[in-house]
Amino acid sequence: MIANPASVHQQLITRLETVTVLSDDDKVQLSSLPLHIRHVAQNHNIVRPGEKSVSCCLIISGLACRYKFANGGKRQILSLHLPGDFPDLQSLHLDVMDHGVQALSVCEVAYIPHKAVEALIEASASVGRALARHAAVDASIFREWITNMGRREAMARVGHLFCEMHTRMRALGLGDGSSFVLDMTQSELADAAGLSVVHINRTLQQLRALRLIASKGSVHTILDAPGLERVSDFDAGYLHLRASYEPDSSRDGTSLRRTDAR
Amino acid sequence: MIANPASVHQQLITRLETVTVLSDDDKVQLSSLPLHIRHVAQNHNIVRPGEKSVSCCLIISGLACRYKFANGGKRQILSLHLPGDFPDLQSLHLDVMDHGVQALSVCEVAYIPHKAVEALIEASASVGRALARHAAVDASIFREWITNMGRREAMARVGHLFCEMHTRMRALGLGDGSSFVLDMTQSELADAAGLSVVHINRTLQQLRALRLIASKGSVHTILDAPGLERVSDFDAGYLHLRASYEPDSSRDGTSLRRTDAR
DNA sequence: CGTGTTATTGACCAACATCAAACTTAGTGG
DNA sequence: CCACTAAGTTTGATGTTGGTCAATAACACG
């Protein structure tokens, strides 16, 4: 799997078109975007923490994550990234990386100079909107993860992670019906879910025992999607895919009494 | 405390100037921004979840939060917002609110129509940059909160929250040296830290027993800032204030072995 | 095969949740 | 100003979830 620049440009255009309308001129500009394509080995950094970035990275293939270390080196995985994602788009606006980006599987990555991205945004409002929207969805996923870590117990947390990745992959045309590949060790899942490796292992066993999922290697199958979503408190609204979302107007104007908060 | 539009425009200009350089023309444009100023009572919604926003809100005074509900109504507070913050800037790019914004104290809020914000960004690259940076810092804080919830235990979690709010307030010229006002009940602190009310109470007692903080009512004093930061694993880098940040290049190019992850 | 990583298991323990009750504080109306 | 009330804080007792440690089993790869 060796990406050539032209196919990467096309991949980028296709991805942006899921979100906005691009003019022919936009596409021409996108097609001439300078790319520095690199293969990154498994477990190596795509962007180093603390770095002063001069380019944004686009994941072309593979699975990447953002991460931070807390305390005495306990790692937290902050997000997972699929082909077409820009895991460090914020580096356009922040001088220093407050976290790292790492390849969880072998990855192909395209680095695009900040200057080029800025020029493109300057030139095309559509592209600017699409990138802003990408960043906004990224932040929405962070919010859901905060909720996941703060208010869901282990089984829901892990199940939620699976639901999210399955949904995101299907939106990109990856995965095969109810199966998908998530190339992460249990140790990495633990870092993503804020749990210990041992507990992840036992939680996966529970999910399997309940016949909600099945796994062989890194290929996971969702056996009972509604059941898994129920157990995991999953509602895809926060992914802001082009689907409907039911507004909850039950609290209109009324006071949220402090005791509501529990 | 009744804000008049002119002072709000000035407050906005001052805040944006902490981040970018504004031309005289920018300031004129900012000063003519249409604002709908509203007082929001404590515990009432500033923006309802599920809503299709047509305006962004700017906190003029008071303390606000973003929140979500998980599971059987367990609330998670996602972020805290001080005067000058735009807690729903993302609504410019997302059609539906995936969370709510609520007043934790009495708040004054200015609603600015999306159309006006978009026109302003169109007209002024500086303002666009400042807002994009605001959103990027917002997301950085989310990442730190994920780490906080996932990988820090109760005392560090609560201490970290205090350090963050203290630092953010000082950056805005709020608070008085080592004291600051954080108008939240323990129940709300619990929702922010992903803990139970009872445990928050006991954790605060520990922090007081260690002489790291002292509190009377909602006025908190940090008695031993370095001590609290150490216990809380706090490093202000992620707030991206205009200060230095030490890059960590210790992992350059080397493999992050999977077992590093623990 | 042998070596190193990853997955699994059991035993034990710490952190945190839950429940229920008492106490404190601030606000309200008489 | 006092009694009353409701919200918020604190405490104790007890239970559960998830962490830690340490060992073993299963795999993957040269």
**pTM reported for the whole predicted model:** 0.92
Alpha helices in B18-98, H assignment, sequence order: 24-31
B127 min Cα distance to partner chain A (Å): 13
Q: Which residues contact B39 (CB under 8 A, 6 or more apart)?
A: B106, B107, B108, B109
End-to-end CA distance of chain A: 52
Instruction: Kindly report, residue by residue over B53-73, the tens digit of the pLDDT.
Output: 999 999 999 999 999 999 889
Mutual orientation of helices B114-123 and B24-31 as an angle, nearest 10°? 170
Instruction: Name the nearest CA neighbour of A218 among A186, A260, A170.
Output: A186
Looking at residue A248, what is its pLDDT? 42
Looking at residue B18, what is its pLDDT? 85
Nucleotides of chain C in contact with protein CB (under 7 A) are: 5-11, 15-20, 26
Looking at residue B5, what is its pLDDT? 78
Looking at residue B255, what is its pLDDT? 44
Residue B237 near residue A96 (C-beta atoms within 8 A): yes
* Dihedral sign computed on CA atoms, order A126, B128, A131, A233: negative
Centre a 10 Å sphere on the Cβ of residue B210 and count the other Cβ atoms it contains.
15
Residue B251, pLDDT > 60, answer: no
Q: Is B48 on the interface with A (CB under 8 A)?
A: yes
3-class DSSP state for residue B56?
Answer: strand
Residue B244, pLDDT > 50, answer: no
3-class DSSP state for residue B28?
Answer: helix
Phi and psi at B43, nearest 5°, equal: 70, 10
Low-confidence ranges of chain A (pLDDT < 50): 244-262
Residues with CB under 7 A from strand C: A 185-187, 197-198, 201-202, 204-205; B 153-155, 157, 194-196, 198-199, 217, 257-259
Q: Cα–Cα distances in Å, from B36 out to B44, B109, B200?
A: 17, 8, 37
pLDDT confidence band for B1 (50 / 70 / 90): low
Q: Which residues contact B247 (CB under 8 A, 6 or more apart)?
A: A48, A49, A50, A51, A52, A96
Alpha carbon distance B74, A262 (integer Å): 7
Looking at residue A134, what is its pLDDT? 96
DSSP type of residue A23: -
